[in-house]
Amino acid sequence: MSSNLPGARIDAAAEAWGAALRRIAAADPHMRQEAAGNGTYMVVTGSPADSVNGVFTSALRPDAGRIERLAARTPGTADSFPGPVSWCVQVRSDPDDRVREVARRHGLTKRAEEPFMVRDLRAAPPAPDGAGELRVRAVAGAECDLYVRALADGFGVPEKIFAPLFTPAVLDAGPDITAYVGEVGGEVVATAMTILTEGHVGIFNISTLPRHRGAGHGRRITEEAVAHGRAAGAGTAYLRSSDMGLPLYLSLGFDVAEHWTYFTGE
């Protein structure tokens, strides 16, 4: 399924995704970023997760030379963090031979694709009234440990994946970055995050803790996150989806705009 949004708005949403990642990196002085022009940039957050470290481009026609320039600097930057930090090269389109060769030279020989999804909020209906038993609230830096534990539980990964990324500095960075938990009876059952950039809202970190799945909490917290962005003036919502999350986001009005390609180490 492809989006009915015009190409210019999809381009802007892709640029907003990159701006959101750079915004996180700018919020914490321990993280690193560098730009090479033509929508190409390096971000190293210190998380072990390769999807949030490496060289990224929002250009439909990626410049292999610019990617190589930053890829040559990424391993040294990653090595400045404690512990192993994996990284990737990410492009929006099916990469050409030059980009594939850059990735290969740096040992990034595993290739995967992930849907990039968008939703037009200009004609979106209002969010449903009430959240049932689920209470969605924002969390600040003082509760970063709570947020990281909930993310780790929801995604089924160690806390060390999220702890370097969602620090007190990031959660307290400003009104454009908001972390959320959904609670039932005071117990955290779901998570989300929104990042607002120039008329776009990025939807991140949607998860439901395993013992609470099947009750609609993931749908509800996603609706709340989208409604937050729309109320703040966003005309477009965007997200990256896993295969498991795809049916949910399609049912919420998101369309697959593109499939992004990631090169990672084996």
pLDDT tens, position by position, 76-108: 999 999 989 999 999 998 899 999 999 999 999
CATH superfamily of 135-258: Gcn5-related N-acetyltransferase (GNAT) (3.40.630.30)
| Lowest mean pLDDT across 3-7, 77-81, 173-177 | 3-7
The one-letter amino acid at 257:
A
pLDDT surpassing 60 at residue 131: no
pLDDT surpassing 90 at residue 203: yes
Tokens of 153: 């539980």
**3-class secondary-structure state, position 236:** strand
Which residues, listed in sequence order, are joined to residue 92 by a DSSP beta bridge? Answer: none
* pLDDT tens readout for residues 6-54: 899 999 999 999 999 999 999 999 999 999 999 999 999 999 999 999 9
Which residues touch 116 (CB under 8 Å, ≥6 apart)?
13, 14, 17, 92, 238, 239, 240, 241, 256, 257, 258, 259, 260
- The domain locations on the chain are 7-116, 135-258
Contact 252, 223 (CB under 8 A): yes
Q: Give dist(CA 154, CA 62) in Å, integer.
A: 34
